[in-house]
Amino acid sequence: MSDVYLFLGPSLTPKEAAGELAAICLPPAAQGDIYRAAASRPAAIGLVDGYFENVPSVWHKEILWALSQGVAVYGAASMGALRAAELYPFGMVGVGWVFEAFRDGVLEDDDEVAVTHGPAEIGYRHLSEPMVNIRRTLQRAEEAGVIRSSVRAALERFAKNLHYPRRDYAEVLRLGAAAGLPEGQLGALRAWLPAGRVDQKRQDATAMLRLMRADLAEGRRRPPALPFRMSQTVYWERLRASVAAAAVDGPTSLTADSVLEEARLEGTTFVQARQAALLRHLLLAEAERRGLEPAPDTVRACVVAFRQAHGLAEGEGPLQQWLRRNGLDEAGFRDLMWREAQVAGAARAMEADVARHLTEVLRITGDHARLLARAADKAKVLRDNGVPNAGGYGTAVAEQTLLAWYFARQGSPAPEDAAMYAMAIGFANREQFVQALRREHTYVQFKQAGGGPGPGGPTPAPAPSDRGS
């Protein structure tokens, strides 16, 4: 089952895991690793070990995102147990004693599973003992009659008070002796440990692999239904961006910095992209602040506008080609359009404020004078020809003909949903868009006829026929 990923380290070695489940074994997970693995849509992800303290830890949200994409996520033993105890209500599958102890509130501190270990080259060899293993070992020793309850409790307390890199049985026994615990019981425990020591984390990790193997073999889907809806946030966007910046998909595995270097060398491309990125960041932050959740219609409108802008005809072929060229999959594209809709929602919410700056921006870009001159000429031509509201001559043209005419001028096919397209380019609705098209079409026809039938002007050319359309 090559479509299964496991994040392993000191709790269980890849060699041990291979005896239980065929999977791709990866190092302990850090922030972004679960998202990166889930992006390839594996059947399942098993999280055992993960980094913390000096390396950013796995985010809860990347696990939720994986679940939202239909990827089963299991956790046990170490970081996996911690995240599963927090996320099992949302569909993450927790396995083992450590998971259950955190889930039920018996354990609460992350340091219970922390361990110092060597590098991957020496198999992540333990340099300290996890507190959960010490607890289970001392419990087993009490059950076996090696030590009494009072000694067990004292030794647990000594171990817990140690910083996790210093935890090992020799140090715990030394502290017990220094505290005057019965030497007979300490000696018996010392002799019992080599055979009696409990590696609870290893046991839990193995149990998780066996459950995953059974679930995958029997086709069981976990969870059967998701009890949540994934929400986009500015911080989630930052995580996704940081993962995307690490590498760009493609035959040469170029870094994102390489792409940005090319943009910088083009000068204007980078300046414009940076300005747009700044605006996007601010709008996403505003959307997050306002708690804006885009409606499905808004997301679809963004897809329509995007495909229109990029000349991606209806159908999956052109879009799939675009995705491959841009290192995205369908889920990534959906997320991109979701954020586009979130940006659009924030922009609409700020429309009154934005409108005050539009003219100023057009002046800065150098477009204002050109657009002002055209708007004045259009108003004059329509007024001089008795159609200030594009009535009479203009209303003879059907909406579909107007739309076909407009998009032909744009050099792209008409979208299936003109209303969504209209919203995407700033019109309030389809009717406002069509009315603007009527004014534009009438104006263009009069201009092509030489200025219209005003004083000294010729008769306008006939409108396109609606017959057969």
Q: Which residues of 13-48 are buried (b: 16+ CB within 10 A; e: fewer)?
A: bbebbeebbebebbbbbbbbbbbbbbbeebbbbbbb
Number of structural domains found in the chain: 4
- pLDDT tens for each residue of 207-222: 999 999 999 988 876 6
For residue 467, tell me if it sits in a domain. no
Residues 294 and 394 occupy one common structural domain: no
Flag whether pLDDT at 10 surpasses 80.
yes
For residue 291, tell me if it sits in a domain. yes
For residue 251, tell me if it sits in a domain. yes
- What is d(CA 258, CA 230) in angstroms, rounded to the nearest whole number? 32
Range of lowest pLDDT (61-65, 207-211, 352-356): 352-356
Which is higher by pLDDT, 201 or 422? 201
Residues 166 and 181 occupy one common structural domain: yes
Residue 425 pLDDT: 78
For residue 263, tell me if it sits in a domain. yes
- pLDDT tens for each residue of 399-408: 888 888 998 8
pTM above 0.85, yes or no: no
For residue 434, tell me if it sits in a domain. yes
- What is d(CA 454, CA 384) in angstroms, rounded to the nearest whole number? 6
Tokens of 91: 């569909």
- pLDDT tens for each residue of 111-163: 999 887 666 555 566 678 999 999 999 999 999 999 999 999 999 999 999 99
Residues 242 and 326 occupy one common structural domain: yes
Residues 71 and 147 occupy one common structural domain: no
Residues 214 and 110 occupy one common structural domain: yes
Residues 99 and 214 occupy one common structural domain: yes
Asked whether the beta carbons of 116 and 127 are under 8 A apart, the reply is yes
Residue 153 pLDDT: 96
Flag whether pLDDT at 453 surpasses 60.
no
For residue 265, tell me if it sits in a domain. yes
Closest alpha carbon to 243 in 36, 38, 54: 36
Residues 32 and 115 occupy one common structural domain: yes
For residue 12, tell me if it sits in a domain. yes
Residues 134 and 90 occupy one common structural domain: no
- pLDDT tens for each residue of 168-205: 999 999 999 999 999 999 999 999 999 999 999 999 99
- Identify the top-confidence range among 6-15, 205-214, 444-453: 205-214
Residue 274 pLDDT: 82
Range of the domain at 73: 4-120+202-218
- What is d(CA 71, CA 100) in angstroms, rounded to the nearest whole number? 22
Residues 323 and 239 occupy one common structural domain: yes
Residues 439 and 414 occupy one common structural domain: yes
For residue 327, tell me if it sits in a domain. yes
Place of tokens 């055979």: 195
Closest alpha carbon to 389 in 398, 400, 378: 378
Residues 276 and 390 occupy one common structural domain: no
- pLDDT tens for each residue of 277-305: 888 888 878 887 887 777 788 888 888 88
Residues 247 and 313 occupy one common structural domain: yes
